[in-house]
Amino acid sequence: MNPQIDKKNMVIAIALSMAIIFVWQFFFEMPRMERQRAEQALLAEQQAAQQTEAGQLATPQQPAAADAAGNATGGAPLDLAAATAKLPRDEALALSPRVRIDAPKIRGSVALKGGRIDDLVLKNYRETIELDSPNVVLLSPARADLGYFAETGWVAVGNVKTPDAEAIWTADRDTLSPDSPVTLTWDNGEGLVFTRRITVDQDYMFDIVDSVTNNGSAAVSLAPYSRVKRIGLPPLDGIYILHEGPMGVLEGSLNEHTYGDIRDQALEAPVGDLAAAAVTASTTGGWLGLSDKYWLAAQVIPADAPVKARMFYGTIDDSYQVDYTAGTREVAPGAAVDFDHKIFAGAKEVSLLEHYRDTFNIPLFERAVDFGYFFFLTQPLHAFLDWIFRFVGNMGIAILLLTVVVKAVMFPLANKSYVSMSKMKTLQPKMQELKETYGDDKQRFQQEMMALYKKEKVNPAAGCLPILIQIPVFYALYKVLYVTIDMRHAPFFGWIDDLSVKDPTTVLNLFGLIPWDPSAYFSIPILGLILSFLSIGVWPLVMGFTMWAQMRLNPTPPDPIQARLFAIMPFMFTFMLAPFAAGLVIYWAWNNTLSIAQQKFIMWKLEKAKEKQAQKAGA
């Protein structure tokens, strides 16, 4: 077999695979996901209507089931507030008296109706780059659009009245802050007094101690639970390199499930089979949450308490829930029990997640950031990027400098690849002569090619392995730039005010010279798709040009089809990368530029070496 052909075929396969993935994701997968979301939302509404008509909706006060041993098995109690009509967020907040939350990084409130954390705003993050843009809203009441909340409580065995979503708690103060914990109290009127002490730190961690005092005459059995619940879904990135959905560390291993996986499992399960409808696990320690690209709401599972954890989709209210229920506690008359929960709700700042991991012994908590399969590369690269940023103060410059360092470290491998390609390019005229001479006799042509490689001491496959070794490194760097919050709303220079969104310029209005905004027409069927596809900014064009220039330095494939494919690849990637975050496109363009410089330098060294050899031969 011809190593040169094998090498070209592998390069073509890699290029075509990447192109197919990008095209499929942009033109087919993303529209399919949107259609699927709409269809399943309609299905959820139909199921809710059918169940309501059949009288199958349980009340919020319904106790959990118990197994033969008397242990609670039902998990967190059912809350049907989300199945009712939605309200504007302000009106939904007004349905409950509240305790204000005021911490350095967050503000919001705790609902005294239900005793849950369902109002949380991130002080340090805004929706857009505009100074007057609203802050990011993370948690909202169940009755609001896209309700999202965290709560803890007790599941009872038997007919014991426990606080539910309608219970009104009393508070000992009106504001929760890092210096001022709040204690909530609720009396069931049957001898049980429930208290909930909530503290918040300087960042995003809540500590909740739930206690029960039995002033009655009979023992009761209760199991503590914690849950995070989201009703409906916000817009998702929907890209294959990013995980969004339920995740956590259960039984010592990282578990990730997409929203679609959880929903499909619930919809495909037999009616009434709750076990089949949910992802379940028995675990001690770990954590469990719902993850967005930049935000996370999660519960920390105590390291000393075995629990039953679940991830599931609620068909009645189109909700996604992660929860855990600990073992049953018996509370004798005159006795009390308590349980300590921790809830994280905030931005996925890597250094902070690592701090919580070490402080509270939360395994793999930093992996809430989707570092991927190459986490052993992405995490060190992110740490180095953060270190550079602290020195230069500009994320764009930090990306450029990190790319330079990575290219320098990978230079020995790149050098082997470029030397091989440069030697191959110098052989192009001789290879063309052989093709013209022996083109009709393929076997003789292959023999002469191998003889030429042997004579010139060239191994066509020598440049392939170094390229393959570099791919995971550069993919890891690409992943760091895409999934971490550092690039969000980070400016560069000129017109790039936010590295996490696409280049705002477009060739359609001559980069702003024509007073026309094509994006206003993107929602129009067909026309909008065409305009969106053609809306190419300055940096994607720079990236495409650098890719074209880099490929010009490589030897031209002798096969005309391969040559044409290689020729159009820069144009294909220009269109496909146009909607990507500007930071990623700038990185790609800069990486191409450095590759061109490296290859030019190596070619210059080879030319110098040839000149010296010629001088020695002449002497």
Tell me: do 384 and 252 sit in the same domain: no
Distance between CA 104 and CA 202 in Å, rounded? 6
**Which residue has 């902070």 as its token pair?**
352
Span between the terminal Cα atoms of the chain, in Å = 41
What per-residue confidence (pLDDT) applies to 97?
96
What pLDDT is attached to residue 246?
96
Tokens standing for residue 593: 């530029």
Give me the percent of the chain exceeding a pLDDT of 90: 44
Q: What is the average pLDDT across 398-405?
A: 92
Average pLDDT over residues 137-154: 96
Residues 6+ apart with CB under 8 A from 263: 40, 313, 320
Rounded CA gap, 298 and 306, in Å? 18
- pLDDT for 18 equals 55
Task: Match 């013209």 to its residue by tokens.
Answer: 436
- 390-401 mean pLDDT: 92
Could you tell me if residue 465 is inside a domain? yes
pLDDT at 548 > cutoff 80: yes
If one compares 517 and 496, the residue with the highest pLDDT of the two is 496
- C-alpha torsion 35→41→42→47, nearest 10: 140
Task: Clarify whether residues 564 and 456 are in a common domain.
Answer: yes
DSSP label at 368? G
With a CB cutoff of 8 Å and minimum separation 6, the contacts of 251 are 281, 282, 283, 286
> What is the pLDDT at residue 139?
97
- Tokens coding 324: 């855990």
Together in a domain, 360 and 410: no
- Distance (Å, whole) CA 139 – CA 230: 9
Mark whether 397 and 350 lie in a shared domain. Answer: no
Does 86 share its domain with 106?
yes
- Which pLDDT score is estimated for 79? 60
Q: Per mean pLDDT, which range of 160-164, 199-203, 273-277, 613-617 is the poorest?
A: 613-617
Q: Which residue has better confidence, 619 or 579?
A: 579
Between CA 336 and CA 213 the distance in angstroms is 4
For residue 354, pLDDT beyond 80: yes
Q: How far apart are CA 551 and CA 103, in angstroms?
A: 53
CATH of the domain at 92: 2.70.98.90
Same domain, 148 and 219: yes
- Is 408 within a domain? yes
Is residue 34 one of the residues assigned to a domain?
no
Residues of the domain holding 577: 3-25+378-502+537-618
Report whether pLDDT(42) > 70.
no
Do residues 213 and 333 both lie within one domain? yes
| More confidently predicted of 459 and 491 | 491
Place of tokens 């469990």: 288
Q: Which range has highest mean pLDDT (16-25, 124-133, 471-480)? A: 124-133
In a domain? residue 50 = no
CA-nearest of 346, 337, 339 to 324 is 339
What is residue 399's three-state secondary structure? helix
203 DSSP 8-state letter = S
pLDDT at 516: 59
Task: Give the least confident one: 260-264, 412-416, 463-467, 487-491.
Answer: 463-467
Residue 60 pLDDT level (bands cut at 50, 70, 90): very low
Give the pLDDT confidence score for residue 17 in this predicted structure. 53
Q: Give the model's pLDDT for residue 463.
A: 56
Structural domain contains residue 284: yes
Helix (H, G, I), strand (E, B) or coil at 287: strand
pLDDT (tens digit, 9 = 90+) per residue, 366-392?
Answer: 999 999 888 888 999 999 999 999 999
Band of pLDDT at residue 430, cut at 50, 70 and 90: confident
395 and 317 within one domain: no
DSSP 8-state symbol, 81: G
Does 366 lie in the same domain as 388?
no
118-122, 209-213, 284-288, 502-506: least confident range: 502-506
Question: Which DSSP state fits 515?
Answer: S
pLDDT, residue 36, reads 47
Residue where the block lists tokens 């039953």: 308
Q: Please, what is the average pLDDT of the chain?
A: 81
User: How many Cα atoms occupy the beta-carbon half-sphere of 393 within 13 Å?
Assistant: 0
Q: Is residue 30 part of a domain?
A: no
Percent of the chain with pLDDT strictly greater than 70: 77
Contact present, 106 and 121 (Cβ < 8 Å): yes
The larger pLDDT score, comparing residue 554 to residue 409, is at 409
Q: What is the pLDDT of residue 19?
A: 55
DSSP state letters, 121-142: EEEEEESSSSTTSPEEEEEB-T
Q: In whole angstroms, how far apart are CA 479 and each of 322, 372, 374, 381? A: 27, 8, 9, 10
Q: Is pLDDT at 188 greater than 80 in this prediction?
A: yes
- Residue 67 predicted with pLDDT over 70: no
Average pLDDT of 517-530?
61
Q: Which of 338, 370, 402 is the last residue of a domain?
A: 370
Apex 124 CA angle, 121 and 128, nearest 5: 85
Question: What confidence tier does 438 reach under pLDDT thresholds 50, 70, 90?
Answer: confident
Least confident of 206-215, 343-352, 529-538: 529-538
The answer to whether residue 230 scores a pLDDT higher than 50 is yes
- Choice between 312 and 2, residue whose per-residue pLDDT is larger: 312
Q: How much is the pTM?
A: 0.80
Query: What are the CA-CA distances from residue 277 to residues 57, 255, 334 (Å)?
Result: 17, 17, 40
* Per-residue pLDDT, 409: 85
Cα dihedral: 552, 553, 555, 556 (round 10): 10
- Strands in 293-361 per DSSP E: 295-314, 319-326, 329-331, 336-347
Q: From 247, 249, 485, select the one nearest 364 (Cα to Cα).
A: 249
Using the 3D structure, point to which of 330, 345, 370 is the last residue of a domain: 370
321: Cβ contacts below 8 Å, ≥ 6 apart: 76, 227, 228, 229, 230, 310, 311, 312, 313, 314
Distances (CA, A) of 255 to 159, 252, 319, 350, 520: 35, 9, 19, 19, 40
Residues 364 and 384 placed together within one structural domain of the fold: no
Rg over CA atoms, the chain: 30
In a domain, 403, yes or no: yes
Does residue 384 sit in the same domain as residue 366?
Answer: no
Instruction: Tell which of 325, 347, 370 closes a domain.
Output: 370
Residue 236 has pLDDT above 90, yes or no: no
Report residue 256's pLDDT band, with 50, 70 and 90 as the boundaries: very high
With tokens 């190593």, the residue in question is: 3
Instruction: Name the nearest CA neighbour of 2 among 525, 537, 568, 449.
Output: 449
Q: Per DSSP, what are the bridge partners of residue 256?
A: 247
* Domain-embedded: residue 121: yes
Q: Is 345 found in the same domain as 274?
A: yes
- Between CA 286 and CA 554 the distance in angstroms is 50
Number of domains in the chain: 2
Number of H helices, E strands in the chain: 16, 18
Place of tokens 């996986």: 261
When pLDDT is averaged across residues 446-455 and rounded to a whole number, the result is 78
Given a cut of 70, is residue 469 above it in pLDDT? Answer: no
DSSP of 558-602 = SSHHHHHHHHHHHHHHHHHHTTS-HHHHHHHHHHHHHHHHHHHHH
User: Contact 24/33 with Cβ under 8 angstroms?
Assistant: no
DSSP letter at 28?
I
